[in-house]
Structure 1
Amino acid sequence: MRSRYDVVVFGGGTAGTPAAIQAARLGASTLLVEKNGALGGTTTVAGVALPGLFHAWGQQIIAGIGWDVVLRSVREAGLELPDFTRWDLPHWLLQVRVVPAVLAALLDDAVLASGADLLLHAMAANARWDGRSWRLGIATKEGVREVEAGCVVDCTGDADVVGLAGLPRRTNARRQPGTIMVRFGGYDLAGLDVDAIQRAHDAAVARGELHAADLAHNPVGKFLRNRGENAIHVTGIQGGTSEDRTAAEVAGRRTLLRILRFLRRQPGLERVTVDAWATETGIREACTIDGHATVTARDYTSGRQWPDAVSYSFYPIDVHRPDGDGIDIRPLPYGTLPTIPRGALVPRGSHRMVVAGRAISGDQEAASAYRVQASSMAMGQAAGALAARCAATGTDVVDLPLDDVRRDLRAHGAILPGDVVVPPPSTTHRPVPEEIP
């Protein structure tokens, strides 16, 4: 690790990894700092191995660095892509399934091949703008190491570096629940009396042995059919501090145990197994920045074309109700292509700082959609291009000529707002009503 970099990226998840790769490919000396032992964030460490959505209405709208690595991981693992022309299907059927271990390994290779330095098991300790550059402290196993940077990119998901720099962050009074990804096995669904298990579940909730939100208010039959997976709500948790995250991890694993113990008491489920689990409880929302622009639900669902747009996003409004009582899914009208503005990536009062991922400036409903992996990958690549230009020219992020940034992004495979034209809807494809899988 050097003492000075053009760009330092904190957070090696779905936003931070493309950010670091893009900055390095543009010639910026770049350091990527990640607190976990693997890159990929929500897709790998939190086990939500379904990055999407890269396509809208049959058209690809997100490509570039993130998509390239995802595509390589699909091929490496021998998996298949969905039929993206079937835009009429529920959104979850158009997710790309990946193998977390394979994706994490390929992300390592992509970062190192770009020329960026990689530091795992480390995180930001302090951040100070001295009027010319960033003075950053990085907490490592050897202690806090000081690094200077021309531009800093915060892809921590919680805007950690923004907070350390003394810049304002926002939180919602009622946050969405988290999820611990668990896959159960060891049973034959056809041999189960699902109605009896449902009655036992309801009685266990009444006795306090289970929480009403533990199965995300799914019927037991659906939960068992999906073998758990993304169907567990961990309520009352937050993610902005180490104490918050500790409480969230403990709550997630306690939820897993409650469900496992309940299942093993049911006829036919005595030998139920935990075939896979995520080491980290997924956090849907924690802190967001106070940006130069704020993406609202109306902006998102209307497909507002921001003049400073740097990426597309596509996903339905997907609010997991704070009390765990189900999910509010609102598909977008045909032809809608939401965009993400540069202003939402830049904290007010900051200098040479850019944010990407779920912590950008937006309201809860809009964030419930653009927080997903594919959208974060597109934002991250845009943030990397902005940071590289910022460091090279000494220009603040909000003052960079966007034509130059967009040219850089297109040269590295990105699809930008204005590049896609949605054709009239096919008469052979009718939207299938959304149903939570």
Structure 2
Amino acid sequence: MTKMSQTASKESFDILVAGAGTAGVCAAIQAARAGASVCLVEKNGIPGGTITAAGIAYPGIFHAWGKQVIAGIGWELVERTRQESRDPLPNLCDTNLNEHWRYQVQIDPVIFAALCDEEFEKAGVTVKYHTMIGAAETAADGVGLTLCGKDGLYPVFARRVIDCTGDANLSKLLGAELRTSDPCQPGTLCVYATGYDPEKLDIDALRTAFEEAAARGEVSCEDTGWSNGFNPHFLFSRGNNSNHISGINAADSAGRTRIEIAGRASLLRLYRFLKKQPGLEKLEFKLNAAECGVRETRTIVGLETVTAEEYAAGKKYKDAVSHAFYPIDLHDAKVGLDKRNLAPGIVPTVPRGALIPRNTRHLLAAGRILSSDRLANSALRVQATCMATGQAAGALAALSVRLGVPAEEIPMPELRRLLEANRAIVP
């Protein structure tokens, strides 16, 4: 690619955000609210990432030990979605809800996406759906990029870029050092299963029939969840966030293609089996997710790296930009779920350095790809934390442009003031 300067590009922005998932939405809105010109690039035709495209429309966790620890733009959108739905928020300060998943907030993904679009327009974000980044190169004054739209390639320039792709795709194009997991946690392709009454099913008979079918090679144990046999959770959850698609790193288009095909093949196997079983003759699988939800691919190597030990101890980093709260939650194809709850009172934090890829310029990263070891990342990858770190990256990028200094040199009081002006909770 020919080196691209600001003057050689057809379009120029202060900040370009790659990916309009939970991190990218908040990064773009925050940067635009801070006065920056912002371009948001998204491969799909809808914002929200895992909430909308992958069917996991219950973001969390925003509260810990009876108080709210994550707020800001992401929480604002969640609140507004519930208000539009005329659905009061549950009492998330209730410490008696037991299981961590009860602190997640069910939302309507269609309303959420529409509200994101509304906020982009209000903040002045230039949105480019059905667009991907084809090439990127660092220049003295920013980053030159080639975008790929439906009608072909075209150049843009941004003084700062934020990688919110979930797979570190922009970071890779810019030569950042990355950590790649091998194996990765399995993905999940959500559906909505209907046409039956779960309470009338003979689960023991289903389990026996499933094990016999698995022995014949007609189904895989992972088609219903874990690899150790039939998991009735698939039927009781009506197919939501249940199956597992293992052995594929979906960081690039080739891997993504493999996991999408494998996910649909898994559902087809299961559908053919279940339709033959008593009580499931009228089973239907209805579309709940346009793509396979991916838990893990790769992360950046940042100026700081959050370790599992630091996360579990609730380390308070001097340059902390947000809280995080979720149990360590590593899905493993062989051993099942490695779940480790946080000790009472522990609320981890995320340092600014975990959002800054080392040995790069003009680049920030947020969401699932922030710099962390594998166990810590299994907790940090969730939607509320992605929202918080996305907002922090948007604020850092805007201040970096405004002050003319690298993100790591921005005075923390400046960053705190900007984030708190947008309702964020800063440690």
Give the one of 112, 128, 131 matched to 2:140: 131
Q: Is the 8 A contact 2:167 2:369 kept in 1?
A: yes
The aligned residue for residue 108 of structure 2 is 99
The answer on 1:345 being equivalent to 2:350 is no
The answer on 1:182 being equivalent to 2:197 is no
The answer on 1:412 being equivalent to 2:412 is no
The answer on 1:193 being equivalent to 2:206 is no
Give the one of 379, 384, 391 matched to 2:401: 391
Give the one of 295, 298, 308 matched to 1:287: 298
Mapped to 1, the partners of 2:34 and 2:324 lie a distance apart of 24
Alpha-carbon shift at residue 19 of structure 1 (Å): 0.3
**TM-score, normalised by the number of residues in structure 1:** 0.93
The answer on 1:257 being equivalent to 2:265 is no
Give the one of 14, 23, 36 matched to 1:28: 36
Mapped to 1, the partners of 2:82 and 2:175 lie a distance apart of 41
Alpha-carbon shift at residue 277 of structure 1 (Å): 2.3
Q: What amino acid does structure 2 have at the position aligned with 1:29?
A: S
Give the one of 60, 65, 79 matched to 2:73: 65
Mapped to 2, the partners of 1:44 and 1:333 lie a distance apart of 32
Alpha-carbon shift at residue 86 of structure 1 (Å): 2.2
The aligned residue for residue 431 of structure 1 is none
The aligned residue for residue 283 of structure 2 is 272
> Cα gap change, 1:322/1:222 in structure 2, threshold over 3 Å: closer, same or farther?
closer
Structure 1's consecutive aligned runs of 4 or more residues displaced over 6 angstroms after TM superposition are none
Note the 1:32-431 alignment, pairs <5 A: 32-88=40-96, 89-217=98-226, 219-323=230-334, 325-417=335-427
Mapped to 2, the partners of 1:390 and 1:260 lie a distance apart of 52
Among all aligned residue pairs of Structure 1 and Structure 2, give the percentage whose two residues are the same amino acid.
46
Q: What amino acid does structure 2 have at the position aligned with 1:107?
A: C
Q: What amino acid does structure 1 have at the position aligned with 2:14?
A: D
Alpha-carbon shift at residue 275 of structure 1 (Å): 3.2
Q: CA RMSD in A?
A: 1.4
The aligned residue for residue 421 of structure 1 is none
Q: Is the 8 A contact 1:352 1:395 kept in 2?
A: no
| Segment drifting more, 24-33 vs 130-139 | 130-139
Structure 2: unaligned runs, 5 residues or longer: 1-8
Q: How many residues align?
A: 416
Q: What amino acid does structure 2 have at the position aligned with 1:53?
A: I
**TM-score, normalised by the number of residues in structure 2:** 0.95
C-alpha distance after superposition, 1:100-120 (max 9, x if no partner): 111111111111111111110
C-alpha distance after superposition, 1:173-222 (max 9, x if no partner): 22100011112110012322211111011111111111122211375433
C-alpha distance after superposition, 1:102-153 (max 9, x if no partner): 1111111111111111110001111111112111111111212111111101
